[in-house]
């Protein structure tokens, strides 16, 4: 990450890089006080550099209050450019240091829970085996994370963040691949009851409901005999925890609708059976979010390649 120092000011057409860095970090952290603590400086030191930048630009960039700062219209435009410039500097540094055959450093990954447990964590194990000199830090949460504030390199998930004000809008969104679903159950579940042959038969079965599935966790759709059929299901067990639904399915408690990547090994091993051969309707896509830059760090490119390969293997034909 680009940092300031007490080195002499390096002017570029009247602008100083240190002033630009401090202005950007103050905005990202929301106040002079918070940014000052991170930099190990005083709030007055940070304010002085932002004032120098405003003087050089002949513009007011920030409206200040006791506990927060607010961008002016001009400041908002300038801030967007600054974040891209600093991201490219960081990326250029990472690429330059990565010209050797060995990748080094730390990769910080954030993921939503289901994707993190079933897909991202195994991909990190693959990544560590191939690049043992890189340390990977994984955080998992149902909530988004501001990459710039938390120092995260990439966020992996499938949700849309359009309505999440805490999610940084200046991120690049890369689609890694679709996330198809499968309706499945343990062989023991059908040992004492007839197997569901058509989607409408699900109404007569105990369905395990993962409550965070969108748009409605009790509405399941499948393409069957070239027709899309939608049924409303229900059952005795509802949970917002995907792993709990999977465990219940493995124990023969009912029929579950789960992402294929999270159950592919169970299906291959015969511990779960795909109920229908038809496609389960889903528009879910696994995505990676990271700072916009022409220079994506080599370590991030390598990790995303491994993650994409694992996703493709999990959803390749023949796994259902």
Max avg pLDDT among 1-10, 165-174, 182-191 = 182-191
Predicted TM-score (pTM) of the model is 0.66
pLDDT of residue 320: 47
- Per-residue pLDDT averaged across 113-140, rounded? 93
Q: How far is CA 14 from the centre of its chain?
A: 39
Query: Structural domains in the chain?
Result: 9-99 (1.10.10.10), 102-179+285-315 (3.40.190.10), 181-280 (3.40.190.290)
Q: What is the mean pLDDT of the chain?
A: 84
Q: Which long-range contacts (CB under 8 A, 24 or more apart) does 170-173 make?
A: 170/80, 170/83, 170/84, 170/291, 170/292, 171/147, 171/289, 171/290, 171/291, 171/292, 172/289, 172/290, 172/291, 172/292, 172/293, 173/287, 173/288, 173/289
Q: Contact 256/244 with Cβ under 8 angstroms?
A: no
For the ranges 55-64, 158-167, 220-229, the lowest mean pLDDT is seen at 158-167
pLDDT over 90 for what percent of the chain?
A: 46
User: pLDDT tier at 65 (50, 70, 90 boundaries)?
Assistant: confident
The label of the residue with tokens 């034909």 reads 317
- Per-residue pLDDT averaged across 136-141, rounded? 91
The tokens describing 9, both together, are 């000011």
User: pLDDT tier at 8 (50, 70, 90 boundaries)?
Assistant: very low
At 248-303, the pLDDT tens digits run 999 999 999 999 999 999 999 999 999 886 667 778 899 998 877 666 788 999 99
- Per-residue pLDDT averaged across 137-166, rounded? 73
The tokens describing 129, both together, are 């085996």
Q: Contact 221/230 with Cβ under 8 angstroms?
A: yes
User: pLDDT tier at 198 (50, 70, 90 boundaries)?
Assistant: confident
- Per-residue pLDDT averaged across 185-214, rounded? 91
Max avg pLDDT among 22-36, 273-287, 299-313 = 299-313
For the ranges 84-88, 191-195, 285-289, the lowest mean pLDDT is seen at 84-88
Spatial separation of the C-alpha atoms in residues 110 and 153, rounded to whole Å: 8
């Amino acid at each position: 990450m680009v940092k300031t120092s007490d080195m002499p000011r390096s002017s570029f057409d009247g602008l100083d890089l240190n002033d630009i860095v401090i202005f950007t970090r103050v905005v990202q952290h929301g106040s002079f006080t918070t940014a000052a603590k991170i930099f190990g400086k005083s709030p007055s030191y940070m304010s002085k550099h932002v004032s120098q930048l405003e003087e050089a630009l002949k513009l007011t960039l920030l409206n200040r209050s006791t506990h927060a700062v607010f961008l002016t219209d001009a400041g908002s435009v300038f801030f967007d450019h600054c974040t891209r410039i600093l991201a490219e500097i960081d990326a250029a540094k990472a690429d330059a240091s990565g010209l050797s055959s060995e990748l080094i450093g730390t990769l910080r990954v954030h993921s939503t829970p289901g994707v993190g447990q079933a897909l991202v964590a195994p991909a990190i194990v693959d990544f560590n085996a191939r690049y043992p000199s890189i340390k990977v830090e994984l955080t998992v949460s149902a909530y988004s994370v501001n990459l710039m504030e938390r120092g995260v390199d990439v966020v992996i998930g499938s949700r849309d963040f359009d309505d999440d004000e805490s999610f940084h809008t200046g991120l690049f969104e890369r689609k890694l691949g679709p996330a198809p679903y499968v309706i499945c159950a343990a062989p023991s579940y059908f040992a004492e009851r007839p197997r569901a042959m058509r989607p409408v038969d699900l109404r007569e079965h105990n369905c395990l409901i993962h409550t965070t599935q969108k748009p409605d966790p009790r509405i399941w759709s499948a393409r069957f005999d070239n027709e899309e059929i939608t049924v409303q299901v229900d059952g005795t067990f509802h949970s917002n925890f995907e792993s709990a639904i999977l465990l219940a399915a493995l124990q023969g408690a009912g029929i579950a609708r789960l992402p294929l990547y999270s159950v592919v090994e169970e299906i291959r091993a015969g511990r779960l059976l795909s109920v229908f051969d038809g496609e389960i309707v889903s528009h879910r896509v696994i995505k990676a979010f990271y700072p916009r830059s022409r220079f994506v760090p080599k370590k991030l490119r390598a990790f995303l390649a491994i993650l994409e390969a694992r996703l493709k293997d999990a959803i390749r034909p023949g796994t259902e």
